[in-house]
Structures are given as structure tokens and as C-alpha cells.
Structure 1
Amino acid sequence: MTESMTPPGGDRLGVLFDVDGTLIDSSYIHTISWWGAFRQYGHDVPMAAIHQLVGMGGARLVDNLLPSDRDRDEDEDIMASHGALYASHWPSLRPLDGAKELLGQCHAGGLAVALASSARQRDLQVMRSVLDADAFIDVATSANDAKESKPAPDILEAALESAGVDAAHAVYVGDAVWDMKAAGALGIPAIGLTCGGIQAAQLREAGAVEVYEGPRDLLENLGSSAIGRLLALQPNP
């Protein structure tokens, strides 16, 4: 951790979390939902290619996966189809092992806890219900809070502002390359989790300072992690 992470005076320390694929086991549900949406509009896009871009904003994902000479008037319909297909899987959503406990431990240590998600507002509400951890969450963002989606840092900036935390006093946890890049744009140390299906080497190459298998693995190693070093700077809550 750099010296800039030492908070002057009473400045608040915080940890930001992505949600899809980081706290909720949903990365592959998004993949199959995008696959189905593309198929509905005549685009046969391999699931592997889709999965690599999950975590990127929907408009960016569509633009990266479909031909540049496509009928762009269909883009909004494709995104709406993805949303409807994903919503059909809401009853199947489950928190990843250790997710609630990880949020609770960060909260108990006095850190501001923010969900920096670019999910649709309704999807985020459902995922928060699945997490059942609102007592440990200070603020949460959705797609409505950012002009540009990841890898642009807008959603992280919105979460930081809402939590009253400076980027120099924060750590970000995510599962996608786009999470790592968004954090890097603000100089925030990013912890990568492989539970979303992205390999550790890819996350490190994108800027992750540490990589763990999932929330449980991070929780069990919290003291030696970037979050642990933030906790060490916190007075006893």
C-alpha cells in the first residue's frame, strides 16, 4: 500500500465491491442471457467471447461483440432482451460463499462499505435481497449513477462520492478485467476474485494487486490483504 493510503486526520476509509460475479454467482447467467439475446436478433456469438466481456457495460459489450456494420437500431432491443432473460433467472441467484461475512467484517472494522455496481437498478435490488447484508452496506450505485460504464471509472467515482471516501483511501474488489481497469484509472488498489470465471493472470495483467478465489478466500486472508492494511489504519470502531 502506498503512503497516500494513510488517511490524514479523520478522513474516512472505505472498500468498494463489484456485485455480479464478485458477491453474487451470476457471471455465467449473464453470459447465457446475452447469448440468448443475441440469438433472438440473428447474431451467433460464442459464449466464451461473451463471458470475457461480462462486467463491461451493456452498450459497450454489444458494440465490442457485434459487427460495426450492423443495424444499430437493434442494440437497445438486444439489451432489453438480455435484461428480460436475466430477470427470468432471478430465483436462481445465490450469494458466493463468504460474501455476506466479508461485507460484515469490513463493516465491523469501521470501513465504509459501498457496492459499486453498474447493474440496472432493479437487478441491484434483487441482488441486495439475495445478499441479505444491507446492515453492512453504507451505499450502493447502479447504472443510473454513471454516464459511462466500466472500464470507465464513473461508477466507482459515484460510489466514492456517496460514501464520502477519497480514492486514495479506498480499495476495490471485483472479478472482471474491467473492474481492475476502472480502479486503476482512479489509482485505487484493486483486489481480483476468480469466482467470476476470469483467470488470475488476466486480472493481474489488468492491474489487480492481489487475487483470491472468492469472498471466502479473501475473508480468510483479510489480515494480510489490501483491505487488512486499511483496517490496520482504522481506530477501533
Structure 2
Amino acid sequence: MADQARPGVLFDVDGTLVDTTYLHTVGWWQALRLQEHDVPMAEIHRAIGMGSDKILDHLLGDDRDTGRDEHMTTAHDTLYATWWERLRPLPGATRLLRAVAGLGLAVVLASSAKQRELAVLRRILGADDVLTAATSSTDADESKPAPDILQAALAQSDVDPDRCVYVGDSVWDVRAAAKLDIACIGLTSGGTSAAELTGAGAVATYRDPADLHAALGDSVIARLDHR
């Protein structure tokens, strides 16, 4: 890492800053049903946070006929896109990003969303003026729990991996951060319980961005080395 590497906070976006997790769940449920795969929504929800390169193996097994995978992925993307104009940030999301920037920390969106989708999410958050960098699916060979997107976020922002925190909402976020020895704060706003996030290795949990913002001064983010 270069000499000018700085401290910062990496943020997952879906389910962490923008309220999308259950829409992704329904989108995958419908896409799977179109190919006659009847997978309960609870199972799909627990897999959200993985990318399309991992989620179908996780839900359907890697010994299946993969010839229809592209159809299912396209169906999910098409169904999910119908919600784009109705998406909303989670409570306190934009305030949290601005507060972190106000501490002198880099603010980085470590997202695996596709580029068009990421543009929508950024517009919803309305905080581009405080962002140091933002990743998309094109920046990673593998999705979470592989750490590729976090590595890309660090490289693009020049954030020091020894002086950063990752904020996410799924066990896949926590496990990806652990592979790089990065502390991960878990938010339950994506529907994963505090117990599950803590069990996966989260150093702290909060209800949503507003809850983390309210406790920011006492959080591990405030204790980052600002030199």
C-alpha cells in the first residue's frame, strides 16, 4: 500500500444502505420458479449477498445442469430492475456516510452491483460528493464470500487495510472481511439477526445505518487511526 494510504470505511450497499434485500429474494424466487426450481424464500434470503456466480450453486447444487443459469440470472435482473425507481435508502444511510466523511475517513462503496444498478443506488443515496471510490461487479472475479470486491475497493481508494472497517448486513460480508483481517460491523437491516452476524465474526451489530450513526462516536469506526 502506498505511503499516502489513509484510514477509511468500506460499505456494502444492498441491504446495508439501500433497502433491497427482500426484493432480491423475490426476484430470485420468481426467476427460479420460471425454470421449475421451487426453492423456499427463506433459503434464498439467507443466500442474498452472494453474486450470481455463487448463489445458484449454493441454492441448486453444483451438480445440476447449468445450461439455464444465464436465463435465471437475466430473469432476476429484469424482475429486480422493475423496482429501481421505487427503491429507498435505509434509515440514516446518507447521514451515516456524511458523518464518516466528517471524521476525515475515506468513504468507499464496496458494492458487487452491476454498473447500471450501482448508478441507481448512488443516485438514491445522494452522497457522491463524499465518496472516495465505488466498486461494481466488473471489479471482482468472484463475489462474496470471496474477498475480491473488498480488495478492489481498497485498491481504488488507497485505503489502508490495517486502518479500515467494513460495514455489511450478511454473513457473507462478515466472512469476506475476515479473509482480509478487516473488522466488520454488521447491520440487521438486511434481515440477518445480530446473533448470526456476531457468530460469523462481526465485531459489533446495529439495527440499521441510523442506529450506527447514533452510536458512531463509541464505535470501532471512531477509534480508527486518523493519522
CA distance in 2, matches of 1:134, 1:75: 34
Return the offset for 1:71: 2.0
Query: For residue 53 of structure 1, what is the aligned residue in structure 2?
Result: 47
Q: Secondary structure at the match of 1:14?
A: strand
Structure 2 contact 6–159 (Cα < 8 Å) conserved: yes
Kindly indicate whether residue 54 of structure 2 is the aligned counterpart of residue 70 of structure 1: no
Kindly indicate whether residue 184 of structure 2 is the aligned counterpart of residue 190 of structure 1: yes
Amino acid aligned to 1:225 = S
CA distance in 2, matches of 1:204, 1:152: 19
TM-score (ref. length: structure 2): 0.96
Query: For residue 24 of structure 1, what is the aligned residue in structure 2?
Result: 18
Kindly indicate whether residue 95 of structure 2 is the aligned counterpart of residue 101 of structure 1: yes
CA distance in 2, matches of 1:208, 1:69: 32
Q: Deviations over 1:191-233 (max 9, x none)?
A: 0000000001110111100000000000000011111112xx3
CA distance in 1, matches of 2:219, 2:36: 46
Q: Secondary structure at the match of 1:228?
A: coil
Query: For residue 161 of structure 1, what is the aligned residue in structure 2?
Result: 155
Query: For residue 85 of structure 1, what is the aligned residue in structure 2?
Result: 79
Identify unmatched segments of 5+ residues in structure 2.
none
Return the offset for 1:10: 5.6
Return the offset for 1:69: 4.0
Query: For residue 180 of structure 1, what is the aligned residue in structure 2?
Result: 174
Structure 2 contact 17–209 (Cα < 8 Å) conserved: yes
Q: Secondary structure at the match of 1:24?
A: coil
Query: For residue 234 of structure 1, what is the aligned residue in structure 2?
Result: 226
CA distance in 2, matches of 1:184, 1:148: 16
Residue identity (%): 54
TM-score (ref. length: structure 1): 0.92
Return the offset for 1:68: 4.0
Q: Deviations over 1:172-191 (max 9, x none)?
A: 00000000000000000000
Return the offset for 1:57: 1.2
Query: For residue 148 of structure 1, what is the aligned residue in structure 2?
Result: 142
Structure 1 window deviating more from structure 2 (37-46 vs 10-19): it is: 10-19
Number of residue pairs matched by the alignment: 225
CA distance in 2, matches of 1:106, 1:131: 14
CA distance in 2, matches of 1:169, 1:68: 37
CA distance in 2, matches of 1:174, 1:144: 20
Amino acid aligned to 2:189 = C
Return the offset for 1:70: 2.7
Amino acid aligned to 1:79 = T
CA distance in 2, matches of 1:68, 1:101: 42
Q: Deviations over 1:11-58 (max 9, x none)?
A: 410100000000000000000000010011111110000000000111
CA distance in 2, matches of 1:202, 1:44: 25
RMSD across aligned C-alpha pairs, in angstroms? 1.2
